C-alpha cells in the first residue's frame, strides 16, 4: 500500500506543479517544453536509481521455472511470462519518455506513442506493482525496499509525464492507417529494447547448446547479420528527415544501453574491476552522448577505434564454451558489439555527422593513445585485486595465443614495478607496444576502407538520383508526346529521312551567319559524308540537328519529326557521337551503357542483345565491367558509340569519330557504320579523313563558310573518273568567295 501511495503522490504532485506553472507563470511553448524536460530528467534519474539498486530477479530464471522468483507451478510460469513482458515494455516506455520532451515538436509520432503506449505500460505497472516488484527484486514479503521505493517514484513520474501530454492533447484519435503505423513503430521499439535475459527466461536450455564462436555456421550467420541489419536500418532511415533519423538512432542507442547495463549496480562504482573499461563497453555510453550532444572528437574516436575493436571481438568472442546463444551473457555480448560496430557507421551514413577528415582521424588516434595508457595502468594495478582483469585483452595471452608461438614469446619480456608494499605493476613492453602499433595500423586501414565505402555509396546514390530523374523524364516525355502530337502534324513522308530546309543559324554574339540557307535531304540506308574545312559550319549543323542549340530560321526534320516543335520525339530517333565526348567515368562501361538505355526506355531483352553484340564487335570483354576512368581513349570512344547505338536510332550522327583511334579501332567503327546503314538507317558522318569518307560513304556534301556548296553521290564521282580528294579541293578552292560571303 505504501508503494501505491508513493506512486500516486508523486503523480499528483508533479501534475499539480505542471498545472501551476502553466497557469501562473504563463509559460510560452518553449517554457512548457522545459517543464516536461525537467520532469523527464527526474523520471530518468528514478529509473536509473531503481535499475542500479540491485540485480533484476528474472535474470537468474532459466526456461520459465528454473530459479523463477514466482516458483514452478503453472500460475508461476504465467506470472513469469507476464512480468517479463512488462519489464520489456517498461524498457521501451522508459526510452520513449526520457527522450520525448526533446523531440516532441520535431517527431510528430511521439505524442500518440506516449498517450497510447507509455501510458498503458505504466498503468499496468502500477496495477500489478506487487507482481512487478517480485520480478525485479525477488521474493516480496511486504517490507519496504530501496528498489521498491525507486520503482514507485519511477511509475509516478512516468504517469505524471503521460498525464501532462494528455492535458496538452486530450483528443482521442484512431484511424486504421494510424493504428497500423503505431503498431509497427511499437514493434520496432520493443525489438530495440529486448532485455538481454529475455530468451534465457522464455526458453529452456534443453540438450542443444549452440555456441556462437570458432566460425561455426551459426557464428558466421550472426556475423553476416552485423552487416545486413545496419544496411536495412540505414536504407529505411534515409527515407525520413534529419530529426526522425536522429531520434530513431538515439532511441536505439538508449534502449540497447539500458538492456546492456542490466549487470551494473551501485556496487559496480565501488569495484573498479567491474567498470566497463573494455573498448566496446565504452561505446554503449559514448554513442548516446554523441547523439545528444555535438561531441565530434569523441564520436570520431568511436568511428575509427570502437568499430574496429567491435568487429575483431565479434570475430573472436572471448566467452567460453559454456555460454550458449540464449544465455544473458551471449545476448549481452552481441547487443554490445553489434551496436559498437554499426551504430557509428549508421550515424555517418544517415548524415548526422560529417564524413571524417584526416584531422579528425588524428584526434581519434590521440584519444586511443590516452585510452590505451589508462587501460594499461588499470590492468597492471587491478591485477593485484583480481588476477583475471584483462581490459582490452592486453594483459593476457588471449590475442597472442591466436597468433602463434612467436607472439606468446613477446610476452617473455616483462617489466615489474613495486610502487608500494604488496603492490606489483607488471607490464609486457614489447608485446603491448606492438599491440598498440598494430591496432593503429589497422585503424589506418579503416580510414581507407571508409573512403572506399564513401566512394561506393556516392556512386550508387548518384545512380539512384539519375534513375529517379529518368523516371520523372519518362513521365514528362509521355505528357509532352500527348500534347505535341495534338498540336503538330507528323510528316509521314519523311519517316526515314533527314531534311534541312533553308536552315540558318546566327549566334547571338555575332552578326555573321554560321550557316546560311542550308538544304539537305538524306535517305535511309546511306552513309552520308559531311566535308568542310575547320569553321565551315559542320558542327553547327550537327548541334542543331541533335538539339544542343536552337535554329535561327528554317527547319530540320528527323524521321518526320520537327526538331524544334517535336524535340523529344526527334531526339529519340538520334544516336550522337560528339567530337569531344564526356562520360561518367566513375561508372563501369556496362553501367554507363545501361544508363543511356534507361534514358531511351530500351527493354531488357533488346539492350542485352545489342550490348553483347557490340562488346564482341569492339573486343571489350576484359574491361567492360571496369570503371571508365581506367579506359584508353579508343575504349572510351567505343563506349560512346555503344551508348549511341543501344536504342537502335534511325539517325546515327558521328562528328570526327576516328580522331586518335588506332587502325584496328578505326576498322571496327567503320564496320559498325556499314552495318547500321545496311539495316536501313542513316549514318551522318563528319570527318577530315577524305580517303575514309570516299571508301565508306554513299553520298557527300561539302560546306564552306556556312554554305553547302554541293551534295553528290560518291558513285557518280567515280563514274566521272574523279577522286574525292581532288573534287573536294577543287570545290573549296574554286568556290566564289564573294558569293559565299553573301551570307554575311
pLDDT per residue over 443-458, tens digit each?
888 888 888 888 887 7
Task: List the one residue out of 165, 39, 154, 156 whose CA is nearest residue 113.
Answer: 165
Interatomic CA distance for residues 50 and 129, integer angstroms = 14
Which cell goes with 158? 512516468
Residue spans of beta strands (DSSP E) within 640-706: 651-655, 682-686, 699-704
**439 pLDDT above the threshold of 80:** yes
Residue 634, Ramachandran bin (φ over 0: left; ψ between -120 and 50: alpha; else beta): alpha
Interatomic CA distance for residues 407 and 428, integer angstroms = 12
Q: How confident is the model at residue 232 (pLDDT cuts 50, 70, 90)?
A: very high
Secondary structure letter of residue 194 according to DSSP = -
Q: CB-based contacts of 661: which residues, under 8 Å, 6+ apart? A: 633, 634, 637, 669
Contact 540, 512 (CB under 8 A): no
Which cell goes with 122? 505504466
Which cell goes with 57? 530477479
Interatomic CA distance for residues 423 and 384, integer angstroms = 6
Q: How confident is the model at residue 436 (pLDDT cuts 50, 70, 90)?
A: very high
Q: How confident is the model at residue 486 (pLDDT cuts 50, 70, 90)?
A: very low
Q: CB-based contacts of 594: which residues, under 8 Å, 6+ apart? A: 607, 611
Interatomic CA distance for residues 349 and 355, integer angstroms = 9
Q: How confident is the model at residue 529 (pLDDT cuts 50, 70, 90)?
A: very high
CB atoms within 10 A of CB 514: 22
Residue 192: phi and psi, rounded to 5, are: -70, -25
Secondary structure letter of residue 666 according to DSSP = H
The reported pLDDT for the residue numbered 722 is 87
Report which secondary-structure segment, H or E, holds 419: strand 415-420
The reported pLDDT for the residue numbered 196 is 92
Count of H-run helices and E-run strands, the chain: 30, 12
Contact 318, 393 (CB under 8 A): yes
Question: What would the pLDDT profile of 411-427 be if each residue is shown by its tens digit?
Answer: 889 999 988 888 889 99
Strands 561-562 and 574-577: unpaired
Task: List the one residue out of 580, 729, 587, 576 whose CA is nearest residue 644.
Answer: 576
The reported pLDDT for the residue numbered 32 is 63
Task: List the one residue out of 316, 51, 87 whose CA is nearest residue 197.
Answer: 87
DSSP string, 457-503: HHHHHHHHHHHHHHHHHHHHHHHHHHHHHHHS---GGGTTEEEEEEE
Which cell goes with 67? 530459479
More confident residue, 366 or 141: 366
Residues paired with 425 in a beta bridge: 417
User: What percent of the chain has pLDDT above 70?
Assistant: 94
The reported pLDDT for the residue numbered 26 is 56
Which cell goes with 18? 505542471
Question: What would the pLDDT profile of 170-185 be if each residue is shown by its tens digit?
Answer: 787 777 788 888 899 9
Using CA atoms, how far residue 490 sits from 268, 485, 600, in Å, is 84, 7, 20
Question: What would the pLDDT profile of 57-80 be if each residue is shown by its tens digit?
Answer: 999 888 888 888 888 888 999 999
Which cell goes with 354? 560529417
What is the 3-state composition of the chain as percent helix, strand, coil, each rounded to the nearest 5? 60, 10, 25
The reported pLDDT for the residue numbered 176 is 79
Interatomic CA distance for residues 402 and 412, integer angstroms = 16
The reported pLDDT for the residue numbered 744 is 41
DSSP string, 531-567: E--TTSSHHHHHHHHHTSS--SEEEEEETTEETTTTH
Contact 59, 262 (CB under 8 A): yes
Q: What is the mean pLDDT of the chain?
A: 86
Interatomic CA distance for residues 525 and 186, integer angstroms = 66
Instruction: Please calculate the CA angle 348-350-356 and round it to the nearest 5 degrees.
Output: 20
Task: List the one residue out of 521, 517, 520, 522 whose CA is nearest residue 554.
Answer: 517
Using CA atoms, how far residue 440 sits from 139, 157, 303, 445, in Å, is 51, 47, 13, 9
pTM for the structure as a whole = 0.65
CB atoms within 10 A of CB 511: 7
Interatomic CA distance for residues 42 and 705, integer angstroms = 85
Contact 576, 513 (CB under 8 A): no
Q: How does 449-487 read in b/e, with b if 16+ C-beta sit within 10 Å?
A: ebeeeeeeeebeeebeeeeeeeeeeeeebeeeeeebeee
Using CA atoms, how far residue 730 sits from 100, 215, 519, 720, in Å, is 86, 81, 21, 15
More confident residue, 651 or 274: 651
Question: What would the pLDDT profile of 87-121 be if each residue is shown by its tens digit?
Answer: 999 999 999 999 999 998 889 899 999 999 999 99
Question: What would the pLDDT profile of 371-399 be if each residue is shown by its tens digit?
Answer: 999 999 998 998 888 888 888 889 888 88
Task: List the one residue out of 494, 541, 488, 535 whose CA is nearest residue 517.
Answer: 541
Which cell goes with 515? 550557316
More confident residue, 268 or 382: 382
Cα dihedral 559, 565, 567, 573 in deg (nearest 10):
-10
Which cell goes with 375? 587501460
492-743: CATH topology is Rossmann fold (3.40.50)
Report which secondary-structure segment, H or E, holds 516: strand 513-523
Place of cell 593476457: 396
Contact 18, 160 (CB under 8 A): yes
The reported pLDDT for the residue numbered 739 is 43
Query: Could you tell me how far CA 200 lies from the centroid of its own chain?
Result: 35
Query: Could you tell me how far CA 475 lies from the centroid of its own chain?
Result: 27
Which cell goes with 130? 506487487
Question: What would the pLDDT profile of 298-357 be if each residue is shown by its tens digit?
Answer: 898 888 888 988 999 999 888 877 778 888 889 999 999 999 999 999 999 998 998 888
Instruction: Please calculate the CA angle 205-206-210 and round it to the nearest 5 degrees.
Output: 65
CB atoms within 10 A of CB 404: 9
Question: What would the pLDDT profile of 591-634 be if each residue is shown by its tens digit?
Answer: 999 998 988 888 888 889 989 988 888 888 888 889 988 988 88
Interatomic CA distance for residues 375 and 394, integer angstroms = 9
The reported pLDDT for the residue numbered 178 is 81
The reported pLDDT for the residue numbered 562 is 87
Contact 470, 600 (CB under 8 A): no
Strands 415-420 and 423-427: antiparallel
Report which secondary-structure segment, H or E, holds 707: strand 707-713
Interatomic CA distance for residues 251 and 96, integer angstroms = 7
Domain boundaries, the chain: 1-204, 210-487, 492-743
Interatomic CA distance for residues 392 and 309, integer angstroms = 9
Instruction: Please calculate the CA angle 59-64-70 and round it to the nearest 5 degrees.
Output: 80
Amino acid at each position: 500500500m505504501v508503494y501505491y501511495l508513493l506512486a500516486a503522490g508523486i503523480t499528483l504532485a508533479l501534475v499539480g506543479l505542471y498545472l501551476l506553472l502553466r497557469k501562473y507563470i504563463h509559460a510560452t511553448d518553449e517554457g512548457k517544453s522545459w517543464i516536461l524536460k525537467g520532469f523527464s530528467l527526474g523520471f530518468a534519474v528514478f529509473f536509473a536509481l531503481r535499475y542500479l539498486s540491485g540485480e533484476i530477479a528474472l535474470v537468474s530464471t532459466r526456461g520459465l521455472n528454473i530459479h523463477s522468483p514466482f516458483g514452478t507451478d503453472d500460475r508461476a510460469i504465467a506470472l513469469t511470462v507476464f512480468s517479463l513482458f512488462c519489464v520489456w515494455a517498461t524498457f521501451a516506455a522508459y526510452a520513449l519518455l526520457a527522450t520525448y520532451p526533446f523531440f516532441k515538436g520535431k517527431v510528430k509520432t511521439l505524442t500518440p506513442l506516449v498517450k497510447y503506449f507509455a501510458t498503458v505500460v505504466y498503468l499496468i505497472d502500477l496495477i500489478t506493482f506487487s507482481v512487478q516488484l517480485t520480478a525485479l527484486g525477488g521474493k516480496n514479503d511486504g517490507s519496504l525496499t530501496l528498489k521498491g521505493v525507486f520503482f514507485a517514484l519511477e511509475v509516478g513520474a512516468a504517469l505524471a509525464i503521460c498525464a501532462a501530454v494528455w492535458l496538452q492533447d486530450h483528443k482521442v484519435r484512431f484511424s486504421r492507417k494510424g493504428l497500423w503505423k503505431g503498431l509497427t513503430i511499437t514493434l520496432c521499439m520493443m525489438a530495440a529494447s529486448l532485455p538481454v535475459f529475455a530468451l534465457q527466461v522464455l526458453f529452456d536450455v534443453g540438450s542443444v547448446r549452440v555456441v556462437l564462436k570458432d566460425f561455426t555456421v551459426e557464428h558466421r550467420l550472426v556475423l553476416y547479420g552485423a552487416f545486413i541489419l545496419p544496411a536495412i536500418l540505414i536504407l529505411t532511415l534515409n527515407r525520413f528527415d534529419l530529426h526522425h533519423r536522429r531520434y530513431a538512432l538515439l532511441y536505439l542507442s538508449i534502449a540497447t544501453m539500458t538492456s546492456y547495463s542490466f549487470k551494473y549496480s551501485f556496487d559496480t562504482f565501488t569495484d573498479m574491476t567491474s567498470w566497463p573499461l573494455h573498448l566496446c563497453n565504452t561505446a554503449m555510453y559514448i554513442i548516446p552522448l554523441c547523439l545528444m550532444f555535438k561531441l565530434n572528437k569523441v564520436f570520431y574516436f568511436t568511428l575509427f577505434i570502437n568499430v574496429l575493436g567491435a568487429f575483431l571481438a565479434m570475430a573472436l568472442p572471448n566467452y567460453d564454451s559454456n555460454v550458449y546463444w540464449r544465455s544473458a551473457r551471449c545476448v549481452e555480448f552481441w547487443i554490445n558489439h553489434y551496436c559498437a560496430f554499426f551504430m557509428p557507421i549508421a550515424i555517418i551514413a544517415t548524415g548526422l555527422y560529417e564524413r571524417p577528415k584526416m584531422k579528425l582521424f588524428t584526434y581519434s588516434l590521440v584519444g586511443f593513445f590516452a585510452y590505451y595508457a589508462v587501460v594499461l595502468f588499470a590492468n597492471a594495478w587491478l591485477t593485484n585485486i583480481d588476477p583475471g582483469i584483462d581490459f582490452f585483452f592486453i594483459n593476457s595471452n588471449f590475442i597472442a595465443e591466436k597468433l602463434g608461438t612467436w607472439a606468446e614469446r613477446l610476452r617473455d619480456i616483462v617489466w615489474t614495478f613495486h610502487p608500494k608494499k604488496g603492490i606489483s605493476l607488471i607490464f609486457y613492453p614489447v608485446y603491448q607496444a606492438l599491440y598498440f602499433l598494430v591496432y593503429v595500423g589497422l585503424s589506418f586501414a579503416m580510414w581507407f576502407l571508409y573512403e572506399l565505402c564513401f566512394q561506393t555509396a556516392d556512386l550508387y546514390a548518384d545512380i539512384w538520383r539519375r534513375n529517379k530523374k529518368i523516371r520523372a523524364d519518362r513521365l514528362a516525355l509521355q505528357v509532352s508526346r500527348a500534347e505535341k502530337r495534338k498540336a503538330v502534324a507528323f510528316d509521314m513522308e519523311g519517316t526515314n529521312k533527314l531534311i534541312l530546309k533553308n536552315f540558318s543559324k546566327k549566334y547571338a554574339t555575332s552578326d555573321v551567319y554560321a550557316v546560311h540557307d542550308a538544304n539537305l535531304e538524306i535517305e535511309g540506308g546511306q552513309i552520308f559524308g559531311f566535308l568542310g574545312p575547320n569553321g565551315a559550319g559542320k558542327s553547327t549543323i550537327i548541334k542543331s540537328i541533335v538539339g544542343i542549340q536552337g535554329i535561327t530560321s528554317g527547319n530540320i526534320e528527323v524521321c518526320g519529326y520537327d526538331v524544334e516543335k517535336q524535340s523529344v520525339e526527334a531526339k529519340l530517333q538520334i544516336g550522337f557521337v560528339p567530337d569531344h565526348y564526356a562520360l561518367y567515368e566513375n561508372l563501369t562501361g556496362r553501367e554507363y551503357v545501361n544508363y543511356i538505355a534507361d534514358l531511351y526506355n530500351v527493354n531488357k531483352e533488346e539492350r542485352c542483345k545489342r550490348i553483347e553484340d557490340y562488346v564482341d564487335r569492339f573486343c571489350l570483354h576484359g574491361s567492360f565491367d571496369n570503371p571508365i576512368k581506367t579506359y584508353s581513349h579508343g575504349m572510351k570512344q567505343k563506349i560512346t558509340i555503344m551508348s549511341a547505338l543501344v536504342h537502335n536510332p534511325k539517325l546515327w550522327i558521328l562528328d570526327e569519330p576516328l580522331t586518335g583511334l588506332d587502325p584496328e579501332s578505326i576498322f571496327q567503327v567503320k564496320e559498325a557504320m556499314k552495318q547500321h546503314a545496311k539495316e536501313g538507317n542513316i549514318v551522318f558522318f563528319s570527318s577530315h579523313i577524305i580517303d575514309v569518307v570516299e571508301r565508306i560513304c554513299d553520298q557527300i556534301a561539302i560546306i564552306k563558310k556556312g554554305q553547302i556548296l554541293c551534295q553528290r553521290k560518291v558513285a557518280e564521282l567515280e563514274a566521272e573518273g574523279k577522286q574525292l580528294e581532288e573534287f573536294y579541293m577543287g570545290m573549296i578552292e574554286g568556290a566564289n568567295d564573294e558569293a559565299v560571303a553573301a551570307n554575311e
